[in-house]
A and B are shown apart, each in its own frame.
Chain A
Amino acid sequence: MRLVIENVSKTYRGNVQALRSFSLELQPGVLGLLGPNGAGKSTLMRILATVTQATSGRVLWNGTDIAREPDALRSVLGYLPQDFGLYPNLSAIEFLDYLAAVKGLDAASARRRIGELLELVNLTEAARRPLSGYSGGMRQRVGIAQALLNDPKLLIVDEPTAGLDPEERVRFRNLLSELSGERIVILSTHIVSDVEAVATDIALIAQGQLVAHGAPEKLLAEVSGKVWQVIVPSAELPALRQKHLVSSTAHRTDGVHARVVADAAPMPGARALEPSLEDAYLAALAAHRTGPAAEAAQ
């Protein structure tokens, strides 16, 4: 099982470049695709889901070009788009049964699968009520269930935890971890903690380009020894932000405790900290913005 993305670019009308020569190779596991808003994550997801075609480059699923033969991938694809709708007059069971039929599942398998999925996403009680009465989180859970209907080999989930409450979010993360054994899962999000919890591999994307790719440990190693905690008065925080990359702050009685990513201690008394994935992410983005790639993109 192998998904290869080769030099994929996508240009929208008005010469808006959403992706620029993006390349990546994926094998079973969870890929966390991280990037700021507008980085090109959803465009990449749509291309991988065969909903949109790349302007140039190609995507190979087990050696087959999905632009030429999309059905080779579609039959084993589970896709949860960032923005999707439901038919309001159908119940969750009816809607899932409808999509199961569209995905080619036989009636008996679909019935069993739908029952399990509804249990999994905690919608069994509401399963027979019209979708028009569902909340945003419940809709999202129906979306998650439909993505898993056909036991997909490639599962693409775009901002899947949006609208979920903390309990459901944790549950969904666990589910992704469970599912990742024999399939490729691509989790696109800008929520670092979601990726941190489940990803076996991380790709950072910014301005349509691949900024970094590797195991979480590799990304963490990039900022190892570069994360500091400093305590400054509130008034000095803006100056600190001007000078250094501040990844988080917390107000305490002795001043602002700021988490700073810098090659060397930003000030006397700075305490070295264990880096987090968020530090690594912010540092990589900052380096990309100020680096030669950014200049080339301008």
Chain B
Amino acid sequence: MNAFRVIYAIARADFLERVRRYSYLITLLFAVCLGYGAGTGGISLRLGDYRGLYTSAWIGAMVALITTTFVSLVGFYIVKGAVDRDRRTGVGQILAGTPLTKVSYLLGKFLSNFAVLLSMVVVLALAAVAMQIFTAEDRTFHAGASLLPFLLLALPAMAMTAALAVFFETFRFLRGGFGNVVWFFLWTFGISLPGLMARPELDLFGVWTVYQSMVPAARAGIPGYVDSFSFGIGQKVAQVAPGFHWNGVEWTAAVVLLRVGWIAAAFALVLSGALFFDRFDLSRSRGQFRVKPKQGSLAAELEAKPAGVSVGARTAAPIHLTPLAEHAAAPAFARIFVAELRLTLKGYRWWWYAAAAGLLIGQFVAPLEVSCGPLLAAAWIWPIFIWSALGTREARYGTQQLLYSCADILPRQFSAAWLAGVAVTALLGSGAVLRLALAGQTGGVLAWAAGAVFVPSLALALGVWSGTSRFFEGLYTMLWYMGPINRVPGLDFTGAASGAQAGRISLTYFVITAIVLAAALFGRFRQLRHA
């Protein structure tokens, strides 16, 4: 069969499977929100205290940068999972038995990823046009200046994002939650690298390309301008720089070639992924979602072993089950909590527990600032995969029907799962809270408690509503990086950076916790009603 037709068929089926889900509407809604953020000044591009007039060039570049940065960051989490879905649904096993090549398969998945991201780019490109119409600061629309940044900045960035999502899925250790965390740091690194090294060829996201074009124009047009260039969310309102006019990036052959080079690199990345892809070979994968027999496994071992008694004897053996006593069904919350806790903590390697113990001991012996700062921060990223399993475990392992047909599932199992998450969080940070309590820092203890309930609640809500662990892993990594690590005021849910504000911040986190917990509860209630 024609290879192109095969690739197209893989891409089409995967794309249709995604766009026919409600979650795709949320994806598009996210793009609309970004467009709205740009239109209302919530996300902006600034040159010191100034911004440029909202011309086609300025808006085009600004919204294209929003696309390359925010859509690539979140889009990765949205599109990653195409191969995993085939693994989980068993479609991969069917495909593995066909003449389909690894390269064709991965290219198909890459194109599907790219198509999903492309649809977000289209929404944002339309938003850019709409923004120019509604702001009406410059009524002349230049199609090239407005749309070329999308074509030459956004598309290569989306291609690389789509390729990286596929590439990550070809590696066992990047396939799951660890890969989701890695992506956030890779993205952060990718944003800052071209500026740090002043190398335009490393500029995947196009920020450096726009910077190099805009800053010289600003130097010439804005008196007293000192190369300030910032791009982000929630910046102060900037005023239009009088006398400054920017015509957009000059798309020279060299610039275009560099951008096209990223698309070529994306294809190369996908092709190289084929070298590592296991092609759904179960003997090369661990931790399957649905439990399937493996060669050389216990199943094979036991089935090969002759039965201890003859067939006739076994089948004729009397069947006896002791009837349960009346009092046997005495719902005890403690029992289900312990069961959930055990389920939560099972399946990790010895070094995971060793590192957790190390972090805990460290909190007891280190100076208070270190204990409540970096050590608590580290202790509260370590169980990220425990939290991200909350709310998604049932769907991931296909146990919904077994659980949802049990009595009082919402008040008992759901609460126990949440409490198990809180217990793990509290246990890993218990050294810090004890030190805070001994030092008489009530505000700190309160902030710690808010963090301890906030994190598993957020995980549970995101897990229940998204059905996947990816969103929590991505969002929480960002939050953790900005809060406990970079001490962005208000985002440090561990309370270490809150100081005198600890009481107010912790109260805010308690309120947020109540809201997300209610959302999680409602989400699970819906699942129970419409399973």
Q: Show the binding face of A for B, using Cβ within 8 Å.
A: 46, 49-53, 70-71, 74-75, 77, 79, 81, 83-90, 94, 97-99, 101-107, 109, 112-113, 116-117, 120, 122, 125-126, 129, 131-139, 143, 146, 148, 150-151, 166-167, 170-171, 174-175, 178-179
Contact = CB atoms under 8 A, between A and B. Distances in A.
Nearest to B301: A133
B403 interface: yes
B292 interface: yes
B319 A178 contact: yes
6 closest A-B pairs (Cβ-Cβ)? A85-B398, A89-B347, A135-B299, A133-B298, A109-B328, A74-B407
Contacts of A125: 302
Nearest to B328: A109
A88 B389 CA distance: 14
B352 to A, nearest CB: 12
A136 B292 contact: yes
Contact of A102 (B292, B302, B409): B409
A104 B403 contact: no
23 contacts: A46-B531, A50-B404, A51-B400, A51-B531, A71-B408, A75-B407, A83-B401, A87-B393, A87-B399, A98-B340, A99-B403, A101-B332, A101-B335, A102-B413, A104-B332, A105-B328, A106-B327, A106-B330, A109-B324, A132-B288, A133-B294, A135-B303, A136-B292
A89 B321 CA distance: 27
B332 to A, nearest CB: 6
B300 interface: yes
B342 A94 contact: yes
A70 B335 CA distance: 23
B406 A103 contact: yes
Interface residues of B, number: 60
B339 A97 contact: yes
Contacts of A146: 402
Contacts, number: 176
B320 interface: yes
Interface stretch (B249-257, B262-270, B307-315): B307-315
A228 B270 CA distance: 63
B21 to A, nearest CB: 12
Contact of A167 (B311, B336, B397, B400): B311
A138 B342 CA distance: 23
B397 A87 contact: yes
Interface of B: 287-294, 297-300, 302-303, 307, 311, 314-315, 317, 319-325, 327-332, 335-336, 338-340, 342-343, 346-347, 393, 397-409, 412-413, 529-531
Given A97-B339, A98-B343, A106-B328, A122 B405 contact: no
Interface centre among B327, B404, B405, B530 (most CB of A within 10 A): B405
A173 B164 CA distance: 52
A134 B346 contact: no
A13 to B, nearest CB: 11
Nearest to A129: B298
Nearest to B318: A178
A293 to B, nearest CB: 30
A159 to B, nearest CB: 13
B405 A77 contact: yes
A134 B299 contact: yes
B293 A135 contact: yes
Nearest to A170: B315
Contacts of B405: 49-51, 74, 77, 79
A103 B329 contact: yes
A88 B299 CA distance: 13
Contacts of A151: 321, 323-324, 328
Contact of B404 (A51, A88, A89, A178): A51
Contact of A135 (B288, B300, B319, B531): B300
Contact of A132 (B291, B322, B335): B291
Contact of B307 (A89, A135, A167): A167
Query: Most chain-B Cβ atoms within 10 A of its Cβ — which of A50, A87, A178?
Result: A87
A287 to B, nearest CB: 34
Nearest to B410: A71
A116 B324 contact: no
Contacts of A89: 346-347
A90 B531 CA distance: 24
Nearest to B409: A102
A46 B401 CA distance: 8
Contacts of B291: 85-86, 88, 131-132, 134, 139
Contacts of A88: 287-289, 291, 347, 397
A85 B343 contact: no
Q: Which of A83, A94, A101, A150 has the most CB of B within 10 A?
A: A101
Contacts of A178: 319
Contacts of A132: 287-288, 291, 294, 297
Contacts of B307: 167
B407 A133 contact: no
Contacts of B400: 51
A179 to B, nearest CB: 8
B336 A79 contact: no
A104 B327 CA distance: 10
B320 to A, nearest CB: 7
B326 to A, nearest CB: 10
Contacts of A71: 407-408
A94 B346 CA distance: 10
A85 B289 contact: yes
A75 B290 contact: no
Contacts of B287: 88, 132
Contacts of A107: 332, 335
Contacts of A126: 298, 302
A104 B335 CA distance: 8
Nearest to B297: A133
B484 to A, nearest CB: 29
Given A88-B291, A136-B292, A53 B530 contact: yes
Of A74, A106, A131, A137, which is in contact with the most chain B CB atoms at under 10 Å from its CB?
A: A106
Contacts of B303: 135, 137
